[in-house]
Amino acid sequence: MIKRFYIETYGCQMNEYDSELLAGILMDKGYESAPSPEEADIILLNTCSVREHAEQKIHSRLGELKYLKDKDPARKLGVVGCMAQNLKEGLLESKPYVDLILGPDSYRNILEHLDSTDAHTIDTKLSKFEVYDGLFPARKEGINAWISIMRGCNKFCSYCIVPYTRGRERSRSIESIVNEAKRSVNLGFVEITLLGQNVNSYDHEGKRFPELLIALTNVQGIRRIRYTSPHPQDVDEELMKVHADYKPLIANHIHLPLQSGSDAVLKAMNRTYTQSHYLKLVDMIRKYLPDMGITTDIIVGFPGETEADFRETLHVMNSVRYDSAFTFKYSPRPYTKAWDMEDKVSESEKSLRLTELIRLQKKHTLENYRNLIGKEVEILVEAPSKRDPNEMKGRTACNKITVFPAGAYQAKDLVKRTITDAQGITLFSRP
Ligand code: 5AD
Ligand code: SF4
């Protein structure tokens, strides 16, 4: 009998990629994808541990799915990814009905674990080498193919659990990445997004990120190349020259996590740059690419963050004027250096800071979007808009969503249109 699997993905794009990788491994062996957990013989949750809230969500989801195990004990329920790596067998204390616990470097072993007759299987060995070469993900249909180019992280920001859940940095060869890009194009994908915990720390036998980008610009059929997320420490002039030389094929968007604008907090976070370094970096980026869309991640309420420190973050936001920002309240994570730092910021103070930050960002987002009115942009058409089937939606190179009358446009077309209006985070345009 054919077995059916269902994978639910939480967390970052790297997890999206890994879920496609797992689906690829299973489908290669004849498993089929099920449309719902109820119809699946194997249910996998691909999980995130980056904040406590992310883990709480999985705990309650597991609680919800328990009835499916009760109904059919032969069905396998697996937790994979960062939370599996973080909690290991500890997960069984509260969720003894979980069959399979697989860390991010153990996916190759999933088939043998599924065949195992043991009550529980826990495989959370991290690897210095695993980059899943030779496997091809079963991608969801669409425009964009995620391609993982490196895994793990050596930066050890003091708040971050990722180095503990995903292990040390390792990169794939340019050849293997280019091959995956070519295969994706042959399957109809027109955009690729290169992924890594620190995508621009890419280093395969001395070949660095700019070289990889140039190699990918030679792949016929790719209309747009994106990547996420770079670390400010590894963004340099060479990278910006490549952006400028291969515009618009390499999209003019950079996600540049700030985390904090205060030198004292940045130091305690082990971020390796100061406010002034960061602002100079932004100037350098804009010197090469004046219309670069810049987005960021910011944490409020890191231990010891004073009101004055927080003002420094607002100062950087006012100087850079980001297109958008992912904003988070600091969440203490086990194993990390910040876990036992004193001088915790209260929840209510964190909430106040977060609200202020979000308000400022909304203002900048709208201003930046309005600044595009009257400008001609290149849009990669994605799909009919959910709101109105007579409209299509697409993205500008700087990653902003635009909607427009469907007309004769098809998904995957690259079209030039002029922005006419901006509302919220949506742009409107005319030919
Ligand atoms: N608490 C809050 N936010 C965090 N991030 C990472 N670790 C934590 C934490 N402990 C945020 C950072 C990172 C993004 C992916 O998640 O901003 O860039
Ligand atoms: Fe979450 Fe980080 Fe793991 Fe991605 S790498 S799933 S963001 S903990």
> At residue 424, does pLDDT exceed 90?
no
Residue 130 maps to a domain: no
Residue 330 maps to a domain: yes
For residues 302 and 390, membership in a common domain is answered with no
Q: For tokens 């670390």, name the residue.
A: 231
User: Which residue, judged by its Cα, is nearest atom 6 of ligand 1?
Assistant: 160
* Mean pLDDT, rounded, for 399-411: 92
Q: Which residues contact 95 (CB under 8 A, 6 or more apart)?
A: 59, 62, 63, 66, 79
For residues 59 and 74, membership in a common domain is answered with yes
Point out the ligand 2 atom lying closest to the alpha carbon of residue 161: 8
pLDDT of residue 128: 96
For residues 217 and 272, membership in a common domain is answered with no
Choosing from 251, 268, 301, the residue where a domain stops is 251
For residues 237 and 257, membership in a common domain is answered with no
Q: Which residues contact 93 (CB under 8 A, 6 or more apart)?
A: none
What does the alpha-carbon distance between residue 66 and residue 98 come to, in Å, rounded to a whole number?
Answer: 9
Interval 264-279: pLDDT, tens:
999 999 999 999 999 9
106: domain CATH number is 3.40.50.12160
- For the record, the structure tokens of 321 come out as 């004027």
Q: Residue 289 — φ and ψ, nearest 5°? A: -135, 85
Residue 134 maps to a domain: no
Choosing from 199, 219, 251, the residue where a domain stops is 251
Q: Which residues contact 89 (CB under 8 A, 6 or more apart)?
A: 101, 120, 122
- For the record, the structure tokens of 8 come out as 């639910």
Residue 12 maps to a domain: yes
Task: Give 282 or 1, the one with higher predicted confidence.
Answer: 282
Nearest Cα neighbor of 208 from 265, 121, 149 is 149
* Mean pLDDT, rounded, for 395-419: 93
Q: How far does residue 155's CA lie from ligand 2's centre (Å)? A: 14
For residues 246 and 279, membership in a common domain is answered with no
CA-based R_g, the chain, Å = 22
Interval 111-148: pLDDT, tens:
999 999 898 999 999 999 999 999 999 998 899 999 99
Q: For tokens 């995903």, name the residue.
A: 166
> At residue 1, does pLDDT exceed 90?
no
Peptide bond preceding 248: is omega within 30 degrees of 0, i.e. cis? yes
Q: Do 170 and 59 form a contact (C-beta atoms < 8 A)?
A: no
Q: What is the DSSP string of 65-120?
A: HHHHHHH-TTSEEEEEEHHHHHHGGGHHHH-TT--EEE-TT-GGGHHHHHH--SS-
Structural domain range at position 29: 4-123
For residues 258 and 366, membership in a common domain is answered with yes
For residues 77 and 51, membership in a common domain is answered with yes
Q: Residue 54 — φ and ψ, nearest 5°? A: -60, -40
Residue 128 maps to a domain: no
User: Which residue, judged by its Cα, is nearest atom 7 of ligand 2?
Assistant: 12
pLDDT of residue 141: 87
With residue 46 as reference, give the H or E element that holds it.
Answer: strand 42-47
Question: Could you give the 3-state DSSP secondary structure of residue 319?
Answer: helix
Distance from the first to the final alpha carbon of the chain: 53
Pairing assessment for the beta strands 401-405 and 426-430 based on DSSP bridges? parallel
Check: pTM over 0.85? Answer yes or no: yes
In angstroms, what CA-CA distances link 331 with 165, 277, 384?
Answer: 16, 26, 38
With residue 231 as reference, give the H or E element that holds it.
Answer: none
For residues 63 and 157, membership in a common domain is answered with no
Q: How far does residue 419's CA lie from ligand 2's centre (Å)? A: 35
Q: Name all contacts of 341-344 with Cβ < 8 Å and 24+ positions apart.
A: 341/158, 341/268, 341/303, 341/304, 342/303, 342/304, 343/303, 343/304, 344/303
For residues 104 and 173, membership in a common domain is answered with no
Interval 71-121: pLDDT, tens:
999 999 999 999 999 999 999 999 999 999 999 999 999 999 999 989 899
Choosing from 75, 96, 123, the residue where a domain stops is 123
> At residue 291, does pLDDT exceed 90?
yes
pLDDT of residue 158: 98
Which ligand is nearest the CA of 335, by number?
A: 1
Residue 23 maps to a domain: yes
Residue 133 maps to a domain: no
341 lines ligand 1 (CB under 6 A): no
257 lines ligand 1 (CB under 6 A): yes
What does the alpha-carbon distance between residue 55 and residue 86 come to, in Å, rounded to a whole number?
Answer: 10
For residues 267 and 349, membership in a common domain is answered with yes
* Residues at CB less than 6 angstroms from ligand 2: 11-12, 14-15, 48-50, 81-82, 161-162, 165-166
DSSP class of residue 259?
B
Residue 70 maps to a domain: yes
pLDDT of residue 375: 96
- Across the chain, mean pLDDT equals 96
Interval 19-57: pLDDT, tens:
999 999 999 999 999 999 999 999 999 999 999 999 999
For residues 82 and 151, membership in a common domain is answered with no
189: domain CATH number is 3.30.750.210
User: Which residue, judged by its Cα, is nearest atom 8 of ligand 2?
Assistant: 50
User: Which residue, judged by its Cα, is nearest atom 6 of ligand 2?
Assistant: 48
User: Which residue, judged by its Cα, is nearest atom 5 of ligand 2?
Assistant: 162
> At residue 387, does pLDDT exceed 90?
no
User: Which residue, judged by its Cα, is nearest atom 16 of ligand 1?
Assistant: 50
313: domain CATH number is 3.30.750.200
Report CA dihedral (140, 141, 142, 145) to the nearest 10 degrees. 50
pLDDT of residue 325: 98
pLDDT of residue 382: 95
> At residue 70, does pLDDT exceed 90?
yes
CB atoms within 10 A of CB 187: 11
Q: Do 40 and 75 form a contact (C-beta atoms < 8 A)?
A: yes
The total of structural domains in the chain comes to 4
Interval 346-363: pLDDT, tens:
999 999 999 999 999 999
Interval 306-328: pLDDT, tens:
999 999 999 999 999 999 999 99
For residues 260 and 343, membership in a common domain is answered with yes
299 lines ligand 1 (CB under 6 A): yes
Q: Do 417 and 379 form a contact (C-beta atoms < 8 A)?
A: yes
